[in-house]
């Protein structure tokens, strides 16, 4: 048990807290694996343009569907482009778009949820019914509508994804706020006459922050899957930008004789999703939120 830390804990700086959380996460095997995968992908996303051995959009009909070789490690695709280059570059777009998408989802979902939980009453009823209404719309159809109206640029995709993945966070943030709102320290702050803003900022956010962050981390991996599905359907980023969903979609017809062209992006996508999921789980455990809480036996 954490006896010593309980008795001797002092206030720490944000950096010290963060590094402590990361160390706790890495002390669990699943957390260490998740973190390593995630960090590997992030580093790759940063350095891939500089280490890519070939030009990702260089089409060469003579090199069509070459098997993996010393020169083309993962082979080439149906247009003769290097699969290795396209795979290591494919994570970049997905990571950037979904990272900022999740941030937007966290911000609007979290704040709206906390606000609804705090004020309650009619406003809460109306807002939550609207959120429910959006939850009932298949998001992929709505996304297709938005993309076909506004195009597939990053400026459209990030807020659109952020909006659709924030709905669930509203519910989580609202529920977490409800847990806190009945506690006496909120009543006490109200009785002292603090403003709603001050109550949200000082009293509620420190207590719901962890739950919302964990939910946001989980949403990140779902959004990644969702974004790749869009690309797969041809509504994500447009060619020739390398993207895993797009690569899988292009190569899946040739799977029977050119498996290499489809395996590389699949491994990239699924390892990143697994990495984020494991990291989010370890993050939750490090913060003391056990997502698989069992009844005490």
Partner 1 sequence: MTDIIQKVKNLSIGFRSKKGDEILILKNISTNIKKGETVGIVGESGSGKSTLALAMMGYVKHGLYTIGGECQFNSLNLLKMKSKDLEKIRGRKIAMIPQNAGQALTPNLKIGYQIDEALQLHSDLDEKEREKKISELLNKVRLPSPETIALRYPHELSGGQQQRVAVAMALAGTPDLLLLDEPTTGLDVTTQAHVLELLNFIAKDTGTSMVYVSHDLGAIAQVSDRIIVMYSGEIVLEGPSRDILKRPIHPYTHGLLKSIPKLSLAGLPESMPGSQPQPGTIQSGCSFFDRCNFSDDNCKNNSPQLEFLKDLNTSVRCFNYEKLVNESQASQTINKIKNKSQDKEILNLSEVSISYAKQKLLDQIFNRISDDNPTVKDININIKKGETIALVGESGSGKSTILKSIAGLLRTKDGLIRFDENRNLSSDLKERDPNDLRIIQLIFQNPDESLNPNHTVEEIIAQPLKLYFGLKGEELKKNIIDLLQKVRLGEFYTSRYPRQLSGGEKQRVAVARAFAAKPDIILCDEVTSALDVSVQAAVLNLLQQLKEDFGTTYIFVSHDLAVVRAISDRVAVLYQGRLCEVGPSNDVYKFPSHPYTEVLLGAVLEPDPDIKPKLVAEDIVEERPPEKGCSFQGRCSRIIGDICKKEIPPWQLTDSGNAIRCHIPIKELQKEQF
Q: For residues 69 and 188, which CB has a smaller minimum distance to partner 1 in the complex?
A: 188
Stretch that binds partner 1, among 108-116, 184-192, 211-219, 226-234 (CB under 8 A): 184-192
Least separation, in Å, of the C-beta of 286 and partner 1? 15
Q: Which of 100, 86, 11 is nearest to 53 (CA)?
A: 86
Binding residue for partner 1, selected from 45, 92, 131, 203, defined by CB under 8 A: 203
| Contact assessment for residue 167 and residue 143, using Cβ atoms and an 8 Å cutoff | no
CB of 23 to partner 1, least distance (A): 13
| First-residue to last-residue Cα distance in the chain | 18
Work out which of 29, 206, 239, 253 binds partner 1, going by CB under 8 A. Answer: 206
192 binds partner 1 (CB under 8 A): yes
Using rule CB under 8 A, residue 123 touches partner 1: no
- At 295 the three-state DSSP class reads coil
Burial label, 104 (beta-carbon count in 10 A; 0-12, 13-18, 19+): middle
Closer by beta carbon to partner 1, 202 or else 270:
202
46 binds partner 1 (CB under 8 A): no
The DSSP symbol for 81 reads: -
- 3-class DSSP state for residue 76? strand
The pair of structure tokens assigned to 233 is: 């359907």
Which letter does DSSP use for residue 256 in this model?
T
Nearest CA among 86, 66, 63 for reference residue 75: 66
Strand stretches in 65-173, DSSP E: none
Nearest to 220 by CA among 266, 169, 265, 179: 169
* Site membership for partner 1, residue 155 (CB under 8 A): no
Q: Does 178 bind partner 1 (CB under 8 A)?
A: no
Q: Two tokens at 195?
A: 């403003």
**Shortest distance, position 110 Cβ to partner 1, whole Å:** 16
Q: Which residue has the tokens 């990053």?
A: 154
CA–CA separation, 271 vs 228, rounded Å?
13
Region from 123-131, 192-200, 224-232, 245-253 binding partner 1, contact rule CB under 8 A: 192-200
CB of 22 to partner 1, least distance (A): 18
* Residue 194 lies near partner 1 (rule: CB under 8 A): yes
> Which residue among 61, 121, 138, 296 contacts partner 1 (CB under 8 A)?
296
For partner 1, give the closer residue by CB, 83 or 180: 180
Contact between 287 and partner 1 (CB under 8 A)?
A: no
Contact flag: residue 13 with partner 1 (CB under 8 A): no
Report the residue from 61, 138, 193, 288 that binds partner 1 according to the rule CB under 8 A.
193
Instruction: Write the burial class of residue 170 (CB in 10 Å: 0-12 exposed, 13-18 middle, 19+ buried).
Output: buried
Q: Which is nearer to partner 1, 204 or 264 (CB)?
A: 204
Interface with partner 1 (CB under 8 A): 1-7, 9-11, 183-185, 187-194, 202-203, 206-207, 296-297
């Amino acid at each position: 048990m954490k006896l010593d830390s309980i008795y001797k804990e002092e206030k720490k700086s944000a950096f010290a807290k963060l590094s402590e959380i990361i160390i706790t996460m890495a002390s669990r095997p699943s957390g260490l694996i998740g973190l390593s995968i995630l960090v590997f992908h992030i580093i790759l996303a940063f350095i891939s343009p500089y280490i890519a051995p070939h030009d990702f959009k260089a089409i060469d009909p003579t090199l069509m569907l070459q098997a993996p070789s010393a020169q083309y490690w993962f082979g080439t695709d149906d247009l003769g482009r290097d699969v290795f280059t396209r795979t290591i570059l494919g994570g970049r777009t997905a990571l950037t778009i979904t990272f900022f998408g999740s941030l937007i989802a966290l911000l609007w979902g979290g704040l709206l949820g906390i606000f609804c939980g705090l004020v309650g009453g009619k406003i809460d009823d109306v807002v939550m019914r609207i959120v429910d209404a959006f939850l009932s719309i298949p998001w992929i159809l709505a996304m297709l509508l938005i993309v076909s109206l506004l195009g597939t640029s990053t400026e459209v995709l990030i807020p659109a994804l952020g909006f659709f993945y924030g709905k669930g966070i509203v519910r989580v943030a609202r529920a977490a706020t409800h847990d806190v709102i009945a506690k006496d320290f909120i009543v006490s702050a109200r009785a002292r006459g603090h403003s709603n803003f001050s109550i949200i900022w000082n009293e509620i956010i420190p207590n719901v922050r962890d739950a919302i962050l964990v939910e946001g981390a989980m949403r990140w991996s779902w959004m990644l899957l969702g974004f790749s599905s869009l690309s797969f359907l041809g509504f994500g980023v447009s060619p020739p930008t390398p993207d895993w969903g797009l690569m899988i979609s292009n190569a899946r017809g040739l799977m029977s004789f050119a498996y290499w062209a489809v395996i590389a992006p699949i491994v990239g996508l699924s390892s990143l999703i697994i990495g984020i999921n494991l990291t989010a789980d370890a993050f939750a455990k490090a913060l003391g939120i056990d997502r698989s809480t069992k009844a005490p036996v």
